[in-house]
Structures are given as structure tokens and as C-alpha cells.
């Protein structure tokens, strides 16, 4: 069960169900994984559980320096990039691209989940 740390700015959207996806570095997530969501320090002490969700899809995504985004081997059009940005909790495409400036030209993972189950 991989841990999925949620940044403070996204917590309300994740809890409300408005945000049901995240983009992460690495290749550690797989479809069907139980995602243990939390926020706070990386150390166990002080961590706050949000809940758990099942990864319903995990896809490869790449952001290029020119602002293009490639998902599942296809360049996204402007409408698709805007929908991706909103789904990931950003106001618009520019905000999302700016957020991932350190991750351009790298293979990332787009992880989607359906609903979060509260756990104690």
C-alpha cells in the first residue's frame, strides 16, 4: 500500500472529491494499488490520515519545456491540458506547467482514484 502525501493546498479538494488525481515522479504506483493518503511531515509522528483510495488508473505523462503534455503517447490539445490542470487542483494550464517546471522532459505518473474511504 503506497503512501500518497497530499500538499496542504490540495487537502480540501481531495477530501471533498473535487480532486481525484495526482501527478507524481517515479514509477512506483500501479493500477489497483490501495493509496494511503495523508498530509504532514514525512516522519510518522505528526502525519494526519486523510483516507484510502484505489488507484483506478495509472498512466505515463510527460511535460515538455514548450508546454506540451504527452499522455499515453499522445500530445494533449489545449482543452485536454486545461481539463487535466483543473482535475489536478490547478486554476489553469499555466499554473500546472509552472508547478512542474522542475519535472519537464521526465516521465511522470498520472494517478486517478474514484472515492476516498475514511480510515481510523
Cα gap 12→108, rounded to integer Å? 24
C-alpha cell at 5: 502525501
Residue range 3-113 in CATH 2.30.130: yes
> Where in the chain are the domains?
3-113
* 83-107 pLDDT tens trace: 999 999 999 999 998 998 888 889 9
Contact between residue 49 and residue 36 where contact means Cβ atoms under 8 Å apart: yes
107 closest CA partner among 27, 51, 21: 27
- pTM (predicted TM-score): 0.89
* 18-31 pLDDT tens trace: 999 999 998 999 99
Residues forming a β-bridge with 28: none
84 closest CA partner among 54, 53, 57, 49: 57
Report which of residues 19 and 66 the model is more confident about: 19
Amino acid at each position: 500500500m503506497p503512501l500518497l502525501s497530499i500538499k496542504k493546498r490540495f487537502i480540501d479538494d481531495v477530501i471533498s472529491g473535487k480532486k481525484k488525481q495526482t501527478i507524481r515522479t517515479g514509477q512506483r504506483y500501479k493500477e489497483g494499488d490501495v493509496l494511503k493518503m495523508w498530509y504532514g511531515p514525512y516522519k510518522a509522528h505528526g502525519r494526519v490520515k486523510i483516507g484510502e483510495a484505489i488507484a483506478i488508473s495509472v498512466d505515463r505523462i510527460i511535460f515538455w519545456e514548450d508546454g506540451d503534455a504527452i499522455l499515453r503517447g499522445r500530445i494533449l490539445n489545449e482543452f485536454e491540458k486545461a481539463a487535466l490542470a483543473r482535475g489536478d487542483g490547478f486554476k489553469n494550464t499555466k499554473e500546472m506547467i509552472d508547478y512542474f517546471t522542475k519535472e519537464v522532459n521526465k516521465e511522470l505518473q498520472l494517478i486517478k482514484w474514484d472515492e476516498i474511504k475514511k480510515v481510523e
